[in-house]
Amino acid sequence: MSIVILLLIVIIVLFGVRNIRMQFITRPVFTFFKKVLPPLSTTEKEAMEAGDVWWEGELFRGKPNWNTLHGYGKPTLTAEEQDFIDNQVQTALTMIDDFDIVHHRKDLPPELWQYFKEQGFFALIIPKKYGGREFSAYANSTIVAKIATRSVSAAVTVMVPNSLGHGELLTHYGTQEQKERWLPSLAVGKDIPCFALTGYEAGSDAGAIPDLGIVCRREFEGEETLGLSLTWNKRYITLAPVATVLGLAFQMRDPDGLLGDVKNLGITCALIPTDHEGVEIGRRHNPLMMAFMNGTTSGEDVFIPLDWIIGGLNMRVKVGVCWLSVCQRVAVFHYQHLLPHLAMCRLKPPQLTVMFVSSLVCLLAILKAYKKPWHVLLPILISLKLHVV
What is the binding site for ligand FAD (CB under 6 A)? 160, 164, 195-198, 203-205, 236-238, 287-288, 294, 366, 376
CB of 296 to ligand FAD, least distance (A): 11
CB of 374 to ligand FAD, least distance (A): 11
CB of 378 to ligand FAD, least distance (A): 10
Would you say 16 or 210 has its CB closer to ligand FAD? 210
Angle between helices 27-36 and 373-384 (to 10 degrees): 130
d(CA 330, CA 164): 7
CB of 255 to ligand FAD, least distance (A): 26
C-beta of residue 186 within 8 angstroms of C-beta of residue 133? no
C-beta of residue 319 within 8 angstroms of C-beta of residue 260? no
Would you say 3 or 369 has its CB closer to ligand FAD? 369
d(CA 281, CA 110): 21
CB of 160 to ligand FAD, least distance (A): 6
How is 127-188 classified by DSSP, letter by letter?
Answer: -GGGT-----HHHHHHHHHHHHTT-HHHHHHHHTTTTTSHHHHHHHH--HHHHHHHHHHHHT
Question: Which burial class, exposed, middle or buried, applies to 285 when counting CB atoms under 10 A from its CB (0-12, 13-18, 19+)?
Answer: middle
Would you say 145 or 344 has its CB closer to ligand FAD? 145
Would you say 17 or 288 has its CB closer to ligand FAD? 288
Would you say 164 or 343 has its CB closer to ligand FAD? 164
d(CA 30, CA 382): 10
CB of 379 to ligand FAD, least distance (A): 7
Based on its alpha-carbon atoms, the radius of gyration of the chain, rounded to whole angstroms, reads 24
Would you say 68 or 359 has its CB closer to ligand FAD? 359
Would you say 220 or 370 has its CB closer to ligand FAD? 370
How is 2-34 classified by DSSP, letter by letter?
Answer: HHHHHHHHHHHHHHHSHHHHIIIIIHHHHHHHH
CB of 89 to ligand FAD, least distance (A): 23
Would you say 135 or 250 has its CB closer to ligand FAD? 250
CB of 274 to ligand FAD, least distance (A): 14
